[in-house]
Amino acid sequence: MKINNNSFELNDNLSVIIDSSDNDGLIFVPGNIELIVDIENYFGKISINKITISLVESEFQISKNNIESQIPNLDIKLLDRYIYKILSDKAGLAYSPYTYFPNYDFTVFEKGRRPSSLDWSMFASLYVFSCNVLPQSIKVELSLAKFLRISEENFKRFMKKIPQELFRKSGHIDSRGGDISLDAENLIKEYLGEDQSAFDNNPFLKFYSEVDFAWGLIIEFIFFGLIFQSSLLLIFS
């Protein structure tokens, strides 16, 4: 994957080029297809804004039948996860969404101490944040357990212990979803002090809904479908 910049800070935009050399089991790009993907760092989430599909063959090789036979072989359902994987590589940009979560000491969970109400509130907000910014195919529990330096089993145990007056879990324990309470918000904003506006402005810190995500997927599928159609029209116009 070729990247047009060496950094990916908050609100930055990147253009990445993906071709068949990137095929690793997460995605599959036919040998004569190239993707140009425009992404944005949106509050820590890798947001895919645009995908352009082009052919790397010469104009003498291009034919309508050739393109139509290759497009169905293109598999980019896990494109967001692939880009996340590459950008997270410590040998590269070393991107981490947790860089954009409010700074907090979570060692109370690692060391097995008794969490305070603020600890639980920040823990719940961190969970909600992860639900929003991590690719859907990545297990939130596993990612957060690694970040907090605890076992996945302990993470699930902590999730069940969050006081109900601070966090309400929606859906199954292994599914994403939930929202922090107003009491939790107030505790976090009191802790952040002058930085509380950053908390209020971040859309990923307070709640996550599978319904919202499903609607977002529908929009993305429609968007990607239009891109496919537009790419073919541009080639043959």
Pairing of strands 2-3, 33-42: unpaired
The residue behind tokens 């590589």 is: 89
How far apart, in whole angstroms, are the C-alpha atoms of residue 143 and residue 133? 11
Q: 213 is written with which tokens? A: 């995500």
How far apart, in whole angstroms, are the C-alpha atoms of residue 183 and residue 173? 22
Q: 90 is written with which tokens? A: 């410590």
Positive or negative, the CA dihedral 95, 98, 104, 107 is negative
The residue behind tokens 């954009």 is: 100
Q: 19 is written with which tokens? A: 């071709």
Q: Give me the residue spans of the domains in the chain.
A: 2-94, 97-210
- The set of long-range contacts for 55-62, using a CB threshold of 8 Å and a minimum separation of 24, is 55/235, 56/19, 56/32, 57/32, 61/32, 62/235
Assess contact for 41 and 214: CB atoms under 8 A: no
- DSSP symbol at 93: T
H helices of the chain, in order, are 64-70, 79-88, 107-110, 117-133, 140-148, 152-161, 182-192, 196-201, 210-236
Pairing of strands 167-169, 207-208: unpaired
- Residues linked to residue 180 through DSSP beta bridges, in sequence order: 167
Per-residue pLDDT of the chain (237 residues; tens, 9 = 90+): 999 888 899 999 999 999 999 999 999 999 888 999 999 999 999 999 999 988 876 555 555 556 566 678 899 999 999 999 999 998 889 999 999 999 999 999 999 899 999 999 999 999 999 999 999 999 999 999 999 999 999 999 999 999 999 999 987 777 899 999 999 999 999 999 998 998 999 999 999 977 554 444 444 444 455 444 444 444 433
Q: What is the pLDDT of residue 125?
A: 98
SS percent in the chain: helix, strand, coil, step 5: 50, 15, 35
Q: What is the pLDDT of residue 90?
A: 87
How far apart, in whole angstroms, are the C-alpha atoms of residue 205 and residue 132? 8
Q: What is the pLDDT of residue 56?
A: 76
pTM (2 d.p.): 0.84
Degrees to nearest 5, angle at CA 156 with 153 and 161: 125
